[in-house]
């Protein structure tokens, strides 16, 4: 029944809750507190660092590496097994540090909503902790107060509440006592209700508590958050890749064991070979190198005011194909601004940014001076008269803040732009009386001293103000408001409304009255219209254009009405010809399949609730679209969690949104998202380079062993030599590839994201071109020294593979660009790594301790030159592939305009 409180009359609500306007008794309140519990939201179960640390090992790849460590240990490679374990522990420590401050969205919701409340008990007003509020309590609501629980309004004196963080609507909502029709009315339409965690912006009133704690609207959001679990694309891809490796190693190893036995090999020999093959295929260095790549990206993003809370979020942002932006606070600044002023003589445009009192006026495209246009000065003066809000500049936040109603703040700023400061104006023309905005009347009125007579100023809904007018101010004089003038005014209202502007009419009356009364506000003279809009963020249009150019589709989700949302989305470049606007009501009528189909055409979602947002995000994910969601309010929290990537505003965002998100924009700059996308794509490309090098060399070693078995050669590599190549040679080169500079064209629409696996078809083709010369060259060099003692042959094979890996790292720098055309000093880390691994290989062949451990021996200069010469074939085969790949891309570019 709780969702129907807004439909009941005040008396019915009081009777149903067994209370009165005098509130509960203290004894009854204590009894209900024992029954319903404290007015708190449940805190999320916190995990200690040991639990978080152990959870880092819950990955198929980690399981594989543990198996490899056990196998290596059992075959005598104790030192190698310890190295594998060190890698796993180090990677888990880094993950624990990053995720130790994981999302505590439920606790953030509690901190956001907690406050004191003024209640009526036994007919007396008391201040109590909001945790002690119970259903049936009558609370006092005053300007600036935070609502402690969901309540039904039973008395309103122009009571208005800011519900932007809950509903997404930028305008404060006027509350009334009359019931609201419609059981399914959205939160924004339940104007007879106030909700926990929202703020009273003006007026006063009383309300009876109908829901506390988890039963409130914020509580329902808390319940949804606890049940949402989303895996990021990279984590899911690594899991899929690990499964694939596990199947390959398990099935391939079993088949190889059986084939080897069929070829007459001893079981012990084949078991050793299978172990060597498994060790060669499992990428032991992948976790630590991937962590390094992501950590480097986190550092670079931090320098760009993008704070990453989870390492995998960096790469996920680079793959995003949908960015669902919340209008209020993301596309707009949540700051109303007068953008147009219509007078009978002209239509003026006003520039500026939010509540900053700086801007220019244009008329017919030309900048004009307000001093030369009396009608504009008059509009500015009346705007200053009508405003009771205040503005102030926060040097800490570097932004303008307001106290009071945003609409009146917008009028105040407009007045200052025309040269009227409210304080100075009221010093000359004292405020005698005022009537706050009244929902029933739909206007606000002030009375100021003005010369010999007083002037009453009325601002409000156009239909209400025009109904009170019998004249219109033209060229400084009041003339009859005949049907032609009325038609012009109504046409202006309709035209401005179609642009998504909020229209306010203003009118005046000269009078000798010293007190305002409703009955005296008739026979007014219409002055004109103010048309205001929630100010666009200055970077919004450019950011949307950059995102679209990068192949990312931007959609807008808002709690505002359809017309307002559509106009703003069209202005910022999100809504285009042929796109559709879906409302919350439309979504309610669709099942999940129909909604997923509708997403093809829809780019704006208006008048939506948190439930609708969640359905939209889930529908995108079911379609396979990697989706980033931006937001700053409580109502955004479920969808921030559900999206592949949640992005919150670090400045204006609520604690709920910040804790629920994966990434925070510390400068609240929507443009930073696109910049972060570029960084994410760079990281994605870097990960692919590292994975390509890891797997091409691992596959090269594996096929070298397999080919040797089928040819009838002895085992060319020992398990300990494979470990050396995997951990020493691969690790240094992989780390240096992780430092590869950012490529060009990352924000082009042609950028390709991953599919189910990190390794795509092009990578498979590249591996074939890389591994073929490795296998053939290594086996040929090995065959030249096969004899009773395989130490020399094994050393040659190991060295040839090692040098091939050095050269192959340079191959991996680019998919298309020739190695010989790239700047060799573009990655100094790769130069240093190549020198280091070359030195280590020399030591492996010359230091007695390493010789004994690795079963190697020194090579002559001619033998070194042989290994190096054969290994260069890795470069030339990849250069041939790159040449034909570039030709294919050029042909596509030439053909596409013709086919278009």
pLDDT tens digits, 240-287: 776 777 777 778 778 878 877 887 767 766 776 676 667 667 665 566
Q: What is the mean pLDDT of residues 135-148?
A: 85
75 pLDDT tier (thresholds 50, 70, 90): low
Return left, alpha or beta for 578; rule: phi > 0 is left, psi -120 to 50 is alpha, else beta: left
DSSP class of 518: G
109 pLDDT tier (thresholds 50, 70, 90): very low
| Tokens (6 digits) for 370 | 């307000």
Residue with tokens 């929202």: 198
Q: What is the pLDDT of residue 47?
A: 61
State yes or no: pLDDT of 33 exceeds 90: yes
Average pLDDT of the chain? Answer: 81
Whole-prediction pTM value?
0.59
State yes or no: pLDDT of 297 exceeds 60: yes
Q: What is the pLDDT of residue 285?
A: 59
Looking at the DSSP bridge assignments, the partners of residue 323 are 554, 628
More confident residue, 740 or 92: 740
Residue among 185, 43, 87 nearest 734 (CA): 87
More confident residue, 456 or 306: 456
3-state SS of 51-84 is HHHHHCCCCHHHHHHHHHHHHHHHCCCHHHHHHH
Q: What is the pLDDT of residue 110?
A: 43
What is the four-CA torsion angle of 409, 410, 415, 417, rounded to 10 degrees? Answer: 120
More confident residue, 667 or 365: 365
688 pLDDT tier (thresholds 50, 70, 90): confident
Distance CA 876, CA 229 (A): 47
State yes or no: pLDDT of 865 exceeds 50: yes
Percent with pLDDT over 90 in the chain: 29
3-state SS of 310-345 is CHHHHHHHHHCCEEEEEHHHHHEEEEEEEEEEECCC
State yes or no: pLDDT of 523 exceeds 60: yes
Max avg pLDDT among 13-17, 82-86, 216-220: 13-17
Dihedral pair phi/psi, residue 440, rounded to 5°: -70, -45
**634 near 658, Cβ under 8 Å?**
no
Q: What is the pLDDT of residue 412?
A: 93
Q: What is the pLDDT of residue 30?
A: 93
**121 near 170, Cβ under 8 Å?**
no
DSSP class of 392: E
Residue among 106, 116, 138 nearest 210 (CA): 138
Looking at the DSSP bridge assignments, the partners of residue 338 are 532
Of 303-312, 601-610, 780-789, least confident by mean pLDDT is 303-312
Give the catalytic positions in this structure.
326
**758 near 286, Cβ under 8 Å?**
no
Could you please report the per-residue DSSP string of 230-293? ---HHHHHHHHHHHHHHHHHHHHHHHHHHHHHHTT--HHHHHHHHHHHHHHHS-TTHHHHHHHH
Residue among 310, 325, 331 nearest 552 (CA): 325
Q: What is the mean pLDDT of residues 489-496?
A: 90
Quick one: how far is CA 79 from the chain centroid? Answer: 44
Q: What is the pLDDT of residue 150?
A: 93
Percent with pLDDT over 70 in the chain: 82
Of 71-80, 196-205, 313-322, 599-608, least confident by mean pLDDT is 71-80
**40 near 216, Cβ under 8 Å?**
no
**419 near 380, Cβ under 8 Å?**
yes
Q: What is the Cβ-side half-sphere exposure of residue 326, based on CA atoms within 13 angstroms?
A: 40
């Amino acid at each position: 029944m709780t969702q129907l409180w807004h439909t009941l009359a005040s008396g019915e609500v009081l009777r149903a809750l067994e209370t009165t306007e005098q509130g509960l008794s203290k004894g009854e309140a204590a009894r209900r507190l024992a029954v319903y519990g404290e007015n708190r939201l449940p805190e999320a179960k916190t995990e200690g660092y040991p639990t978080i640390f152990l959870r880092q090992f819950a990955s198929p790849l980690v399981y594989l590496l543990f198996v490899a460590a056990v196998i290596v240990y059992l075959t005598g490679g104790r030192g190698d097994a310890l190295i594998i374990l060190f890698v796993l522990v180090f990677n888990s420590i880094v993950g624990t540090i990053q995720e130790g401050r994981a999302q505590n969205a439920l606790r953030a919701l509690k901190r956001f909503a907690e406050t004191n409340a003024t209640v009526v008990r036994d007919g007396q007003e008391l201040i109590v902790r909001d945790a002690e509020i119970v259903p049936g309590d009558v609370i006092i609501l005053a300007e600036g107060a935070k609502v402690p629980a969901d309540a039904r309004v039973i008395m309103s004196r122009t009571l208005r509440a800011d519900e932007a963080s809950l509903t997404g609507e930028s305008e404060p909502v006027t509350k009334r006592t009359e019931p609201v029709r419609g059981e399914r009315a959205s939160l924004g339409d339940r104007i007879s209700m106030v909700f926990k965690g929202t703020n009273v912006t003006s007026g006063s009133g009383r309300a009876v508590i109908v829901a506390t704690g988890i039963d409130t609207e914020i509580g329902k959001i808390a319940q949804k958050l606890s049940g949402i679990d989303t895996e990021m694309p990279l984590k899911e891809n690594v899991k899929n890749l690990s499964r694939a490796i596990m199947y390959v190693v398990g099935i391939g190893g079993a088949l190889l064991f059986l084939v080897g036995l069929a070829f007459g090999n001893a079981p012990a020999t084949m078991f050793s070979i299978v172990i060597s093959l498994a060790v060669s295929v499992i990428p032991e260095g992948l976790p630590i190198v991937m962590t390094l790549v992501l950590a480097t990206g986190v550092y670079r993003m931090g320098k760009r005011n993008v704070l990453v809370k989870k390492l995998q979020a960096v790469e996920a942002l680079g793959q995003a194909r949908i960015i669902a932006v919340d209008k209020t606070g993301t596309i707009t600044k949540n700051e109303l601004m007068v953008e147009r002023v219509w007078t009978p003589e002209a239509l003026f445009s006003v520039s500026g940014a939010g509540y900053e009192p700086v801007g220019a006026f244009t008329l017919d495209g030309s900048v004009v001076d307000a001093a030369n246009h009396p009608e504009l000065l008059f509009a500015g003066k009346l705007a200053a008269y009508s405003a009771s809000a205040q503005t102030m500049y926060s040097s800490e936040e570097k932004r303008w803040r307001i106290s009071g109603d945003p609409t009146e703040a917008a009028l105040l700023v407009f007045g200052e732009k025309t040269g009227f400061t409210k304080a100075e104006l009221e010093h000359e023309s004292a405020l005698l009386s005022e009537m706050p905005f009244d929902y029933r009347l739909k206007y606000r009125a002030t009375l100021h001293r003005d010369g010999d007579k007083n002037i009453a100023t009325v601002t409000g809904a156009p239909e209400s103000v025009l109904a009170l007018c019998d004249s219109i101010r033209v060229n400084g004089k009041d003339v009859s408001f005949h049907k032609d003038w009325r038609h012009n005014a109504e046409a202006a209202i309709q035209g401005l409304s179609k642009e998504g502007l909020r229209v306010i009419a203003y009118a005046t009356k000269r009078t000798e009255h010293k007190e305002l009364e409703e009955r005296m506000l008739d026979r007014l003279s219409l002055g004109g219209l103010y048309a205001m809009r929630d100010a666009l963020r200055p970077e919004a249009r450019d950011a949307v254009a950059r995102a679209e150019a990068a192949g990312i589709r931007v959609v807008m989700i808002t709690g505002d009405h359809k017309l307002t949302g559509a106009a703003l989305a069209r202005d910022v470049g999100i809504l285009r010809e042929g796109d559709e606007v879906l409302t919350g009501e439309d979504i309610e009528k669709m099942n999940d399949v129909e909604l997923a189909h509708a997403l093809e055409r829809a780019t704006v979602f208006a008048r939506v609730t948190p439930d609708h947002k969640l359905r939209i995000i889930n529908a995108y994910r079911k379609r396979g679209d990697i989706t980033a969601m931006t937001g700053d309010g409580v109502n955004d929290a479920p969808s921030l969690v559900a999206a592949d990537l949640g992005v919150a505003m670090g400045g204006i965002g609520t604690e709920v949104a910040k804790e629920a998100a994966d990434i925070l924009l510390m400068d609240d700059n929507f443009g930073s998202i696109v910049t972060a996308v570029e960084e994410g794509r760079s990281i994605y490309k870097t990960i692919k380079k590292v994975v390509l090098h890891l797997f091409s060399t691992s596959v090269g070693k594996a096929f070298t062993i397999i080919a040797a078995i089928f040819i009838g050669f002895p085992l060319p590599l020992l398990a300990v030599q494979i470990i050396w190549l995997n951990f020493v040679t691969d690790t240094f080169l992989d780390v240096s590839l992780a430092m590869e500079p950012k490529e060009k064209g990352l924000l082009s629409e042609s950028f390709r994201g991953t599919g189910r696996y990190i390794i795509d078809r092009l990578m498979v083709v590249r591996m074939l071109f890389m591994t073929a010369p490795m296998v053939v060259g290594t086996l040929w060099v090995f065959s030249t020294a096969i004899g009773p003692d395989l130490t020399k042959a094994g050393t040659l094979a190991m060295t040839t593979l090692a040098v091939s890996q050095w050269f192959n790292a340079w191959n991996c720098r680019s998919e298309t660009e020739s190695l010989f055309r790239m700047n060799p000093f573009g990655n100094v880390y790769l130069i240093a790594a190549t020198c280091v691994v070359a030195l280590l290989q020399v030591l492996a062949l010359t230091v007695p301790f390493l010789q004994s451990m690795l079963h190697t021996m020194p090579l002559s200069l001619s033998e070194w030159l042989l290994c190096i010469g054969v290994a260069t074939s890795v470069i030339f085969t990849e250069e041939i592939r790159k040449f034909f790949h570039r030709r294919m891309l050029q042909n596509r570019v030439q053909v596409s305009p013709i086919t278009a």
